[in-house]
Structure 1
Amino acid sequence: MPVEVKTTVPSVNDVLVPETLLKKRKSDAKAREEKAAKALELKKAQKQKRRVIFKRAEQYTKEYKAAEREEIRLRRVAKSQGEFYVPAQPKVVFVVRLRGISNIAPKPKKILQLLRLLQINNGVFIKLTKATAQMLTLVEPYVTYGEPNLKSIRELVYKRGYAKINKQRVPITDNSVVEAHLGKFGIISIEDIVHEIATCGPNLKAVLQFLWPFKLSNPTGGFHKRKFTHFIEGGDTGDREQAINKLIRQMN
């Protein structure tokens, strides 16, 4: 009678796995866990940051509305008493260069370089002090300037805003660019930049150094025929006060 021989096929679990492969699997699993944990932590941090930015934006809106109501109240009080309300002098002005390099004296030319107005239709925000006011007086035939309102500041920063990083013109694509370079000043979003300029905040100098000069287009409808005469004489140069906001709309 023939003897039946049973053969056993080794299962997958019985196959010996090299120790190096086991170590690699273990390290890969650990790396995946760490990566997932970091991603979760980053997601939580970003969510918290968005909450902070949103709360700040709400607070800024309240501040702007309160300041606007206070100015309306002061106007009404002055009117009721038969007096004139004189608003405070602007703390920040927006300056636009109108003329090229031809026929410019050395001193105004140097001032334009200091103001970073190197090309026609370049625009910059400037903190108005006694020194900068004197500089603007010397270059009035070559520039126009005035007090920008909140809407103009926001439109310029959001639409034309570029950062100066390592002497390069870098687009401000999101708030991380702002936080990376201005976070040490407590400025973590584009809205913080707008607020700092609108209120002439304590870190305004750092913000203005961070922003690249704005490159504007020719205004819709063009400049006046008497472009290089003063604004009050029907031209475009010099101080145009609140009327700068209309020009910004036309050039933005």
Structure 2
Amino acid sequence: METLADVFFGWMFLVTNSEIVDAVVRFHACFSSKTRPYSQETVYAKRLSLRAKHSPIYFVNVYMSSSNECFPLFLLFLSHFLTTVIPETPQQIVTKYSDYKAICSGLGYRDRTCQSKGIAFQAVLIKSITSLGVQKPVIFEKVTLNEGSGYDATTGKFTAPEDGLYSFSWNVLVLSGKAFHTEIVKDGKMVARNYADGKIVKSGLYLASSSTVNIKLKSKEKVWIRVHLNFGQYVYGDHWSYFSGFRIN
């Protein structure tokens, strides 16, 4: 039948180094009444046989049914076990970091995973525009939403605050007999176009045309609406024409 010494011997070699081998052997001798230390071969064999066999609970159970003559050495083992084997508590882990940002970084997440806010904007056209030049940006001057502060009402351009996939929509209202073809561009490169030709409607009526696109952006890249070629004849304002966008993820 195994004694507490056998169980203790195996556990001490799981959590200690060679510098306390003699103390372990003395402790084993205390429980087993052996008068001389184990040989090096016996020590190695016991380490292999006991490494995966016993738990701390089993160790305590054996001790409780054994003699308490070696109680001081048991306390020494227990103290060493608690300080080297038992992992940090959740509170200790939180205390280890100064704030939630540090916790995110320590776990390998980017900053925005913990504290990113929503990114969305919407701007409308107040004043109607006539004869806008070739590929000139359409400036939707009234901002009704600008979460993330990405849209600039002075330039009509949206600058991505963060990397991500974004969705953009725009609408134009044109007068009969006039055209206002537009395109959405990413850093000057055309992504998609919108066709709005008022010649197809009766005199005195209006035609509305809208488009939606999804664009993958890196931080600081810009998106805006501009005139397609020289088809910037007329676009109606008064909140009828608008430009909006938001980050999907």
Aligning the two structures, in what range does the TM-score lie when normalised by the shorter sequence? Answer: under 0.3
Q: Highest Rg: 1 or 2?
A: 2
TM-score by length of 2: 0.24
TM-score by length of 1: 0.23
